[in-house]
Amino acid sequence: MDTKGKVFKTLAGAAAAIAIFGLSGCLSTPDRSAGRVLDDKMITSKVKGVLDDSPVYKFNDVKVATYKGVVQLSGFVDTEDQRRKAGEVTKRVEWVREVVNNITVKPQGDMLMPTGRSTTGERGTTEEVIVTTQPGTTTITTTNIPPRSTDRSTNPSSNPNTNPNQNPSTNP
């Protein structure tokens, strides 16, 4: 009989622990009750399902967040029509109060090119690459940039810890 009691207590304790961990995602926040948090999670799940089940478009790069019934869509799609369609489909989901469509249409073609600084083969030199694009044209300008000297001991004025009016022997 003692063994059955210990097993029962162990199982009851494990069930309670599972219930606590399972419900921890539904805890209320200062501005939302536990029920509202659960409703928002349900709405998010429904919206994701509707977007995934869309017969024409697949919205793999779209993220969904819900706060007090307001659904925010973010991410990337290929066309403006996909962006618009994602918003329309989301508005039809039950309990959605409002849709904030922050989806971005991916740039098409060769309009994007890398810019910035890249290291050349020579030690210590860099090459600045400036790319200017306009419809139908692309201009690439490169400039060699000499290395900056990091040795501050030879030029006292470049050393922020050195006062040029101070005697070097008293400089810490």
84 shares its domain with 130: no
72 shares its domain with 129: no
- Residue 56 burial class via C-beta count within 10 angstroms: exposed 0-12, middle 13-18, buried 19 and up: exposed
- The pLDDT of residue 91 is above 70: yes
Domain count, the chain: 2
- Residue 5 burial class via C-beta count within 10 angstroms: exposed 0-12, middle 13-18, buried 19 and up: exposed
- Coil, helix or strand for 66? strand
Band the pLDDT of 28: cuts 50, 70, 90: low
Residue 126 is assigned to a structural domain of this protein: yes
149 shares its domain with 97: no
Residue 61 is assigned to a structural domain of this protein: yes
Residue 83 CA to its chain's centroid (Å): 19
This prediction's pTM? 0.50
- The pLDDT of residue 71 is above 60: yes
70 shares its domain with 55: yes
Residue 4 is assigned to a structural domain of this protein: no
d(C-alpha 13, C-alpha 161), whole Å? 65
- Per the prediction, the chain carries an average pLDDT of 74
Given 105, 123, 139, the domain boundary residue is 105
Residue 7 is assigned to a structural domain of this protein: no
Domain that holds residue 31: 27-105
Cα Rg for the chain, rounded, in angstroms? 31
88 shares its domain with 119: no
- Quick one: pLDDT at residue 37? 94
Band the pLDDT of 75: cuts 50, 70, 90: very high
Residue 21 is assigned to a structural domain of this protein: no
